[in-house]
Structure 1
Amino acid sequence: MLRDITIRGLGVIDEAVLDLAPGLNVVTGETGAGKTMVVTGLGLLLGGRADSELVRTGADRTSVEGFADLEADHPALVRAAEAGADVTDGLILARSVAAQGRSRAHLGGRSVPISTLSEVGERLVAVHGQADQWRLRSAEEHRVVLDGFEPEVGRLLEDFQRRYDEHHALAAEADRLRSAARERAREADGLRVALEEIEAVDPQPGEDEELRGEDDRLSHADALRDGASRAHALLAGDDSAWDGASGGALAALGEAVSALEPWTGHDPALADLHRRLAELTYVASDLTTDVAGYLTDVEVDPGRLSWVQERRAELTRLQRKYGDTVEEVLAWSRDASRTLLTLEGDDARIEEIEARLAQLTPRLGAAGAALHDARAAAAERLGAAVTAELRRLSMPRAHLVVGVTTQAHERGLELPSGERVRYSRNGIDEVDIALAANAGAPPRTVTRAASGGELSRVMLAIEVVTHGGSSTVPTFVFDEVDAGIGGKAGVEVGARLAELAREAQVIVVTHLAQVAAYADRHLVVRKADDGQVAASGVVEVAGDERVRELARMMSGDESGAAVEHAQQLLASAQERVNEPREGT
């Protein structure tokens, strides 16, 4: 609910604070005191259109601030939090309009676009009046009202929406797969060609590096043999060797070991040198054997070299297309194989989806037909109930009709009857709330058939009948709801507002004492005139002060007879409010 609203510099209002209560809040005041400005200020707070002409003469700006106390999961609070507002201890809304015309909006201490303030406002307050965007402004809103009238309709709607969501998701997936079939086929063909090319070469992990080394070795085989032969001759000795030496390094090392051996017992240092020479001889001997083995293994094989180079060329062709290394080529091949399996499996997926849709579609059609029948029955009951309420609200000749129709469509949803109709997530129906304002007049869409005051009364009747259940907003504002009525009709309007106020917070601006008598909190807009400027403020009245205000509203004075009449009116209203509710 709205806890309070502070208005500054708006029209005739210098500064006014509306301290609001749960239940029915009534705003009254003399003509010209600024009651309309209260509704205008509330409209600004909820994101309505701003006009610099609203700024009070002599003020630099108009500002309106309000505080709302809401459940943590309420849509208004959730939307405000999404916009970055601080909603820890409730929600603060603020709007200002400069005299130069610039408008600013804030939510929870954060500057936001006016559109965001409006979105939050729509979830917070429903304003019903001649100049306001009220809840029956579109066919979709008409449907929401009807669906909120009876729980069974809401249950059937949820069932339809659950089936619709599943059906819609599957149909969208099938359409996507079908529309991409040609592209998918081209991609699959390309992958098959690539995989066949890789399979034909059959690269092995690390093969490219191994072949690179073998290619280098075979390309230099002659030079490698020459170098190894010379090294072997120098180690082992060869009479025909390089410099005519008759002995090699092994022979020289053997002679050096022999030269030291007789004297090793005389000097430990010399003995260590002898040992190291002996170890070097063993190493040189092993090395000589290894070099000889290398000479045996080195081949000059032009055929093998040609094959290695051709194989490397094949691998290089793959690496240009699919990866810098054989490992990357093989990884690409694995990924491509998985992708190909997915692409080839899409046809099977389409068949699976079509089989599932064949099962779901009749069930969706049956759910749509059941929802339609429930709505049609509920529409008759809603129309009758609202019509009865309108008779109590001084619209005795008015007749409300809630129409529930379908539109044929050759590619629409097939119903059990075989008929195909347009459908959406909210069912197969178009709902229109129409009003015949006078006997014999044809019903017309309610926004065109009723005046401002009548619109407010129609909406009041709807809200009373549905107990506010057709809306998630916690606060209802009625302006001009008593336009053109009085006497007993005014009493009935007050009683119906009090009835609605049992379910939600209600704020009503009225000139009728019969309505004001039902208030849980009575606020009066008072105007003072010092000869220079006019300023209005808002005060709560209770007890004798409230009785005098009711007397003024009824007769224009506070005479004894007027006060006595006001007391009787107030007592009668309170007695009616305290009557047990029907069914309790």
Structure 2
Amino acid sequence: MIDELRIRDLGVITEANLPLGPGLSVVTGETGAGKTMVVTAVGLLLGARSDAGAVRSGAKRATAEASLVLPADHAAVLRSREAGAEVDEFDGGAELVLARSVGADGRSKAYIGGRTAPVGVLAEVGGTLVVIHGQSEQIRLKSTNAQREALDKFGGEKVRTSLAAYQECFGQWRLALKELEQLRADARERVREAESLEASLEEIAAIDPHPGEDENLKAEAVKLANVEELRIAADAAHAVLAAEDFTEQADASTLIDSAKRTLEHVSEHDEALGALAARLTELGIMLNDTAGELASYSASLDSEGPERLAELESRRADLAKLVRKYAPSIDEVIEWAERSRVRLYELQDDSARISELEELVQTSAAQLQVLGLELGDRRRTAAMDLSQRVGAELAALAMPDASLEIEVEAASDPGPYGLDEIAFLLRPHAGAPARPLGKGASGGELSRVMLAIEVVLAEVDPVPTFVFDEVDAGVGGRAAVEIGRRLAMLAQHVQVLVVTHLPQVAAFANQHIRVTKNSVRGEDGSAVTGFTSSDVSLLEGPERVKELARMLAGQEDSGSAQAHAQELLDDAKVLLGG
């Protein structure tokens, strides 16, 4: 709810602080005092179009600011945080500040939680907090979506259960239908893709590559291309280690053996030389083993001739063709083939999937019809009840021939919220055609209609704050009392702010705010060179009785008028059970 509303240089209001507590707050004052500027200020905070003409004459800008107290998890708090606003939290609640300024040049700025924000975001946040009733473009239930949501909430658990079952079925039906349409639309493309994958997999299978084969063949080909050089090196190294013929120059094995025997002859005189002789023995064994491996390596080269090299190059060419077409390496070609086999299976299974989806779409559509018709029946029952209850409220608000007609008609196609198209229509008086809300009714009539609707919906579809302007236009007497009583009834569930000129309405208020106009003449004593300003004050006790007396008879100091005013206050308490 709005905890406090602050206005500066808006219309005739120089500066005003309006403390708005819970319940019903009324704003009263003489004609032209600036009462409607309160509504204008709230409208600015809801993102209404700015008007430089609303800036007080001589001021640079007009500002409106509201401090709101909300649950910490309220949608407005969450959206404000998303917009970067600073929100103060306390004991599970939160305080949010909205502000709007309008310059004399027409430029407007919006602020949420102390941070600048687009006016559109301000409107988005404000739309979840406050509803103004007074002009047709401000109707909360103007859109068909809002009307459907209100009717569904009024319908209670039965409608909620039916809607949930319908939406679950609708989701399944839409997913199946979308997949089926996609499969059918892509049928030719999928056939071409399957044929291409099948040919590619046959080509890869014919070559049958193995993991790492390309690198292994490359290494072997390099070896065979340099076989003669490798043989010469192996034979030369073998000759150095262990010569097969006696030559003038001894080989390494012979030299190591000679050194070993020399040390063994004297090892008994020093253990260190014995240890070295043992190490030479190990070294000799290693040299002999290495010489043997070199001889085997050289012999193996004789068995791998040009035929093997040609075979390798042919195989490498086959593998290179796969790498060029499918992936950077043979290992990745094999991975691509595995993925493609899975994809080919999916594509080849299209016909079975299409048949399955066709059956699912058909059964879901049939079930959707059943659930949608049930939901529509429950909505019609709720619509009849809502219309009757609003009609009773309208009769008490001096509109006995007015009626709210709620149409629940079959839609052309199933939608996410049912098979119905819902419309709230108002018949303002007997013989008049039923027209959409906001059309065919005066501002005062429309405000009373919306008051009647909001009173009925208050327990199931509340908005934190309602503002009513012109709600008492053209009425008086008993009807005025009923308007005040119903505003108070609505205020039991939400915060209500009303601009009124009727004392019967003002008597029901929890907070009574008066706007007083002050005219100041210019230095020359002329009204032309002067200016007009308004003060705003919260009335209590005797001051409130005097204001009601002024509204009753224009004589705030009259004893009889004040007695009548006190009687109105007492009667209001009785009517509310106080």
Q: Same fold (TM over 0.5)?
A: yes
The 8 Å contact of residues 222 and 300 in structure 1, kept in 2 or not, is answered as no
The 3 A distance-change label for structure 1 pair 38 and 307 is: same
2:568 is aligned to 569
Instruction: Give the deviation of 1:226 after TM superposition.
Output: 3.2
Q: Does 2:390 match 1:390?
A: no
The 3 A distance-change label for structure 1 pair 250 and 490 is: closer
The 8 Å contact of residues 238 and 247 in structure 1, kept in 2 or not, is answered as no
Q: Among 540, 543, 546, which residue is 1:542 paired with? A: 540
- 1:264-311, CA deviations, whole angstroms, 9 ceiling, x for partnerless residues? 667888777766665554443333322222232222422221111111
- 1:383-421, CA deviations, whole angstroms, 9 ceiling, x for partnerless residues? 2322222222122332332222224xxxxxxxxxxxxx4
Instruction: Give the deviation of 1:131 after TM superposition.
Output: 5.8
1:31 is aligned to 31
Alignment of 1:176-191 (within 5 A): 176-191=182-197
Instruction: Give the deviation of 1:456 after TM superposition.
Output: 0.3
2:40 is aligned to 40
Identity of aligned residues (%): 47
The two structures have a TM-score, normalised by structure 1, of: 0.89
CA–CA distance in 2 between the matches of 1:227 and 1:308?
24
The 3 A distance-change label for structure 1 pair 387 and 310 is: same
CA–CA distance in 2 between the matches of 1:272 and 1:7?
106
2:463 is aligned to 473
- 1:331-374, CA deviations, whole angstroms, 9 ceiling, x for partnerless residues? 22223333333444454444333333333222211111112222
Instruction: Give the deviation of 1:252 after TM superposition.
Output: 5.0
CA–CA distance in 1 between the matches of 2:335 and 2:361?
38
- After TM superposition, the structure 1 stretch with the greater mean CA deviation from structure 2, 27-36 or 81-90, is 81-90
Q: Does 2:171 match 1:165?
A: yes
SS at match of 1:498: helix
- 1:5-31, CA deviations, whole angstroms, 9 ceiling, x for partnerless residues? 111110101111111121111110111
- 1:60-113, CA deviations, whole angstroms, 9 ceiling, x for partnerless residues? 111111112122332222322332323333221111112222211111222211
Q: Among 494, 499, 519, which residue is 1:504 paired with? A: 494
SS at match of 2:71: coil
SS at match of 2:407: strand
The 8 Å contact of residues 142 and 437 in structure 2, kept in 1 or not, is answered as no
The two structures have a TM-score, normalised by structure 2, of: 0.90
SS at match of 2:73: coil
Letter of the 1:286 counterpart: D
CA–CA distance in 1 between the matches of 2:328 and 2:85?
53
Q: Does 2:218 match 1:209?
A: no
CA–CA distance in 2 between the matches of 1:193 and 1:316?
18
Q: Among 452, 465, 471, which residue is 2:443 paired with? A: 452
1:321 is aligned to 325
The 3 A distance-change label for structure 1 pair 273 and 74 is: closer
The 8 Å contact of residues 136 and 446 in structure 2, kept in 1 or not, is answered as no
The 3 A distance-change label for structure 1 pair 519 and 215 is: same
Alignment of 1:59-458 (within 5 A): 59-87=59-87, 88=89, 89-130=94-135, 132-151=137-156, 152-237=158-243, 245=248, 248-251=251-254, 253-254=256-257, 280-298=283-301, 299-407=303-411, 421-458=412-449
2:527 is aligned to none
SS at match of 1:104: strand
SS at match of 1:375: helix
The 3 A distance-change label for structure 1 pair 386 and 232 is: closer
1:515 is aligned to 505
The 8 Å contact of residues 137 and 438 in structure 2, kept in 1 or not, is answered as no
Letter of the 1:460 counterpart: L
Instruction: Give the deviation of 1:168 after TM superposition.
Output: 2.0
CA–CA distance in 1 between the matches of 2:163 and 2:263?
110
Instruction: Give the deviation of 1:256 after TM superposition.
Output: 5.5
CA–CA distance in 2 between the matches of 1:476 and 1:112?
24
SS at match of 1:69: strand
CA–CA distance in 1 between the matches of 2:205 and 2:449?
78
SS at match of 2:512: strand
Letter of the 1:28 counterpart: T
Q: Give structure 2 stretches of 5+ with no counterpart.
A: 522-529
CA–CA distance in 2 between the matches of 1:385 and 1:468?
13
- After TM superposition, the structure 1 stretch with the greater mean CA deviation from structure 2, 502-511 or 297-306, is 297-306
State how many pairs are aligned: 562
CA–CA distance in 2 between the matches of 1:374 and 1:355?
29
CA–CA distance in 2 between the matches of 1:434 and 1:280?
109
Letter of the 2:409 counterpart: T
Q: Give structure 1 stretches of 5+ with no counterpart.
A: 408-420, 580-584
Letter of the 2:424 counterpart: I
- 1:205-264, CA deviations, whole angstroms, 9 ceiling, x for partnerless residues? 22222212221222222333333334444444456x9xx748645445555656666566
CA–CA distance in 2 between the matches of 1:488 and 1:270?
132
- After TM superposition, the structure 1 stretch with the greater mean CA deviation from structure 2, 131-140 or 301-310, is 131-140
Letter of the 1:98 counterpart: G
The 8 Å contact of residues 516 and 522 in structure 1, kept in 2 or not, is answered as yes
The 3 A distance-change label for structure 1 pair 263 and 510 is: closer
Instruction: Give the deviation of 1:570 after TM superposition.
Output: 1.5
RMSD over aligned Cα, in angstroms? 2.6
- 1:157-208, CA deviations, whole angstroms, 9 ceiling, x for partnerless residues? 3332232223223322332333333333333333322222222222222222
1:418 is aligned to none
CA–CA distance in 1 between the matches of 2:423 and 2:282?
110
The 8 Å contact of residues 86 and 109 in structure 1, kept in 2 or not, is answered as yes
- 1:114-166, CA deviations, whole angstroms, 9 ceiling, x for partnerless residues? 01110111111111102642123233333333323331334333332232223
The 8 Å contact of residues 136 and 438 in structure 2, kept in 1 or not, is answered as no
2:453 is aligned to 462
The 3 A distance-change label for structure 1 pair 457 and 289 is: same
- After TM superposition, the structure 1 stretch with the greater mean CA deviation from structure 2, 250-259 or 73-82, is 250-259
